Amino acid sequence: MEKTLKAVIFDLDGVICFTDKYHYLAWKQLADRLGIYFDEVINNRLRGVSRMASLEIILERSEKAYSQEEKEAFAEEKNTTYRQLLANMSPADLADEVKNTLDELRARGYLLAIGSSSKNTKFILERIGLPTYFDAIADGTDITHSKPHPEVFLTAASKLGVEPALCAVVEDAKAGIEAAKAGGMVALALHGDAEGCGLEDENLGTFADLLKYLP
């Protein structure tokens, strides 16, 4: 890729670190309490999706209809469980490959940002030892539309002061790739259903492969 790109925006879960197992366990605990079937196949549909939208997917199998107030209470219950599980995270959950690649990108002059629909983004970054590392953070507390809407990435670009066309996005979810393209950004797929989805500009085999595409 040409060096016209000035910034790299990263999804958090599944890219910088992996919190999928904690999401799954927290949703499973809620679903079990409500008597709703939930497994890892259904969980895969929640990738890159907001908390309330994820809850709606889970409630598709419910025989009971719930009020908005009840749904909000369920979402908060899940988040409380999730944050308790996240307390197990530490800097050991940040791979050397990821940290070394981020450092090299910064040395090459790129601005770095997080674009995540998670409202726990700052808490997770603190747990893995990167509380003040990124030049900008756009997360679930900044947006009203979750991916595939481009709002979170456009917000990150705005906070960086960089035109969207000069930003690359690294995503592991197809919804994230769709959001990046909708925002007019370069979309780099890393694992997950982002890889080979047909919308990405490049597929990254590993996180370190970013250094091949961003000179």
Closest CA to 189 of 89, 92, 48: 48
The DSSP secondary-structure symbol of 111 reads: E
Task: State yes or no: is 142 an active-site residue.
Answer: no
Closest CA to 11 of 43, 48, 45, 44: 48
- Asked if 184 and 178 count as a contact pair (C-beta separation under 8 A), the reply is no
- Of 13, 142, 172, 193, which is the active-site residue? 13
Alpha-carbon gap, residue 64 to 169, rounded angstroms: 39
* Cross-strand pairs, 80: none
Closest CA to 57 of 45, 68, 70: 45
H or E stretch covering 9: strand 7-10
Alpha-carbon gap, residue 85 to 192, rounded angstroms: 23
Cβ-based neighbour number of residue 149 at 10 Å: 18
- Of 11, 142, 172, 193, which is the active-site residue? 11
Cβ-based neighbour number of residue 64 at 10 Å: 9
Stated length of the chain: 215
- Asked if 172 and 14 count as a contact pair (C-beta separation under 8 A), the reply is yes
Task: State yes or no: is 11 an active-site residue.
Answer: yes
State the catalytic residues.
Answer: 11, 13
